[in-house]
Amino acid sequence: MRDADGPNFGTRLGVTMRSLIRIIFATACIVLLVVGSILGYNRWRIERLAETVRQKAAQFQAKHESEHANRNARIAALRAADKVADPLKRCLDFPDVSPLHWSPAFVAARCRLTALDIITIDQIDAKLAAGDSTSVDATFQDYAAQDVSDPKRRGILFRAFEQRFESSNPAIGSVLERWVKTSPHSAYALAARGVFRYRTAAEARGTMSTADTPQENFDAMKWLMAGAVSDLKASLAIKPDFIVPATYLIPATARMGGSRAEIAALGRKAVVIAPDEYRAYIFWAKEASPLWGGSREELEEIADAAKAREASNPLMALVAARVRYYYALASRRHLSRDDYLEILAIAPDNFALDNMGQLFQVQADAPLITPLVRFEPTVGNYMRAALALQLARQPEWSHDYMVRAADLGSPTTPDLEEYAQALTASSRFDAAAALNEKMIEVNPRNAHAMSALIVLYQKHLNRQIDAVAMAHRMLDAYPDSFDAWTLFAYTQKETNNAEYCSAMARAYRDKPGLNWDYDHSCTPNDDLPPPMPNGPISRSQRPNSK
């Protein structure tokens, strides 16, 4: 018997299957549409994100190129400003460097001081050679009168002594000896020699550590400083209102072991003599610093007194900046770039500028050193700025400053050591050697000059015998000096390896943990493979195999 529902069941099953297939197909289409939409949307989104990234990269690149172009333009403007011939226009038109901006009154006063025309050492020498010491004294007497009567010439007296006589250059010293000899009762001649002796005494000690400095250097410093104190007191006895000897007596007395009360009394006396002479406050502030036995209270007294005079002399801001600098040093921590910028926001302090320049690491910092040469375009400042520019990765600009220093200097420049360095940096090796030889004639223990000559003889002038002789001379003067032994080793490196190794071992005697033999000139190199044996080697043979 047949099932009556059989045919209908088959039909219904077929319809169901077709419906199911259509549903699956429709679902698949929907899924594909959804997936396609998602993929399309994601692709659109990815392309949009990629376009955004491209735009941001282009903006970043454009910003970077703009900043680079702006920085180059600022540097070009600064380098061009330095070449302006007129000293007053050069200083006034020199671009400010962000974030350092000072008041127009301060800039005008500082530039006026920088541009003052003062007598040169060569002019003094010529007058003395002609037997005309009277006109030399008259020149400084005129400066003293102008200082108090002509606002455009205020500060000229102190600046003349600071710029011309604060030096250890023996050529300047010989001129001053002749001036004192022909005018023994001249307050100006005695003060000039006192200032010279003060600076020479400070440099006679040298820059080595106390342990490496022989007693002869300390003896020379004390002898010269005693002569400076004698000259300065004699000058002040002749002219009691003379601010130059009154000011230089402050540090000279401190170097001779004067008491705190005596130093403070000298500081107060100096600012009474010339209440608007900012350098009197600055000299006193150094000796009042807690780092050198002073106190914060004394520094505050100086800062308050200078602040009270700022309305009559905008340059008193330099006192505030220097006091802030001494406060920072008293913290006995390493000062940061931001620390120095806080000081320099007050005024362009030379100490802060010079020390900040030693921290430079990026090209963007380079312009920050330019106030050093804007306001004091001396040989020494150009060389200090050149070093800062090297650290800021501006070699071309740095070289320009070195050449500028060499061109600016002369045999009577106060910055004789820096002038010799500038001559070396500008490849004037013979002139640099002659200058260092002259310094050693006057001071046979001049370690800087001996070091410079060793390198000049050995590296630049092909005078190896002279280099060795000078190295022996330096060892005789400083037998325990690390620098003396390493420089002697330098002269032996290419000719006598045993002497080189012995000298380097002696130099590093107190530093046993340091590995100085980087090229293994004196020790075996254990990192090298063992030597290959002589004779043919088979393919399977190993060197030194058994």
Residue 397 — pLDDT band, cuts 50, 70, 90?
Answer: very high
> Is the dihedral angle over the CA atoms 473, 474, 480, 486 positive or is it negative?
negative
Tell me whether residue 417 is exposed, middle or buried, using C-beta atoms within 10 angstroms of its C-beta: 0 to 12, 13 to 18, 19 or more.
Answer: buried
List the beta bridge partners of residue 97.
Answer: 100
pLDDT for res 3: 47
- Rounded Cα–Cα distance for residues 4 and 271 (Å): 133
Q: Which amino acid is it at 245?
A: P
Q: Is the pLDDT of residue 71 over 90?
A: no
Q: Do both 131 and 64 map to the same domain? A: no
What average pLDDT does the structure give for the chain?
87
Q: Are residues 132 and 214 in the same domain?
A: yes
Max CA separation in the chain (angstroms): 159
Is 145 a domain residue?
Answer: yes
Are residues 56 and 135 both part of a single domain? no
How sure is the predictor about 541, in pLDDT bands with cuts at 50, 70 and 90? very low
Answer with the residue of higher pLDDT: 195 or 413. Answer: 195
Task: Average the pLDDT over 389-416 and give the result.
Answer: 92
Rounded to an integer, the average pLDDT of 265-293 is: 94
Lowest mean pLDDT among 272-276, 380-384, 531-535: 531-535
pLDDT of 36 higher than 70:
no
Residues shown for the chain: 546
328-346 average pLDDT score: 92
Local structure of 97: helix, strand or coil? strand
Closest CA to 281 of 239, 313, 256: 313
The answer as to whether 204 is a domain residue is yes
Structural domain that includes position 135: 116-254
Q: Which among 28, 62, 81 is the end of a domain?
A: 81
Q: Same structural domain for residues 69 and 197?
A: no
pLDDT-derived band at 317, boundaries 50, 70, 90: very high
d(CA 216, CA 220): 6
**Residues 157 and 68 reside in one and the same domain:** no
User: CA–CA separation, 483 vs 502, rounded Å?
Assistant: 15
241 is a domain residue: yes
| Domain match, 131 and 234 both | yes
Query: Among 407, 408, 394, which Cα is nearest to 78's?
Result: 394
- Residue finishing a domain among 81, 107, 124: 81
Give residue 523's pLDDT. 80
Residues 60, 315: Cα–Cα separation, whole Å: 43
Query: By the 8 A CB rule, do 406 and 391 touch?
Result: no
In a domain, 351, yes or no: no
The token duo for 52 is 């955004």
CA atoms within 13 A on the CB side of 280: 27
Mean pLDDT of 290-319: 93
**Are 136 and 235 in a shared domain?**
yes
Q: Is residue 100 helix, strand or coil?
A: strand
Distance CA 466, CA 458 (A): 8
**Alpha-carbon gap, residue 245 to 162, rounded angstroms:** 11
User: Residues 77-107: pLDDT tens digits?
Assistant: 999 999 999 999 999 999 999 899 999 999 9
* Sign, Cα dihedral of 137, 139, 145, 148: negative
Residues 152 and 244 in one domain: yes
Q: In the prediction, which pLDDT does 6 show?
A: 52
Domain assignment of residue 190, yes or no: yes
For residues 104 and 107, give the distance between their C-alpha atoms in angstroms, rounded to a whole number: 5
Average pLDDT over residues 288-309: 92
If one counts the domains in the chain, the total is 2
Each residue's pLDDT tens digit, 412-450: 889 889 999 999 999 999 999 999 998 898 788 888 999
Q: Are residues 72 and 120 in the same domain?
A: no
Predicted local distance difference test score (pLDDT) of residue 187: 97
Do residues 74 and 145 share a domain? Answer: no
Give pLDDT, residue 53: 75
The percent of residues above 70 in pLDDT, for the chain, comes to 88
* Residue 63 in domain: yes
CATH number of the domain at 152, please. Answer: 1.25.40
Check whether the bond before 99 is cis (ω within 30° of 0): yes
Asked if pLDDT for residue 404 goes beyond 50, the answer is yes
Q: What would the two tokens of residue 10 be?
A: 């088959």
Domain boundary among 192, 219, 254: 254
Say which residue the tokens 């050679």 belong to: 129
| pLDDT, position 258 | 93
Q: Are residues 142 and 245 in the same domain?
A: yes
What residues contact 280, with CB distance under 8 A and at least 6 apart? 243, 246, 247, 267, 270, 271, 273, 274
Instruction: Copy the structure tokens of residue 406.
Output: 């060499």
For residues 275 and 66, the answer to whether their CB atoms sit within 8 Å is no
- Do 170 and 64 sit in the same domain of this protein? no
**Residue 258, token pair as written in the block:** 């004067």
Whether 277 is covered by a domain: the verdict is no
In a domain, 289, yes or no: no
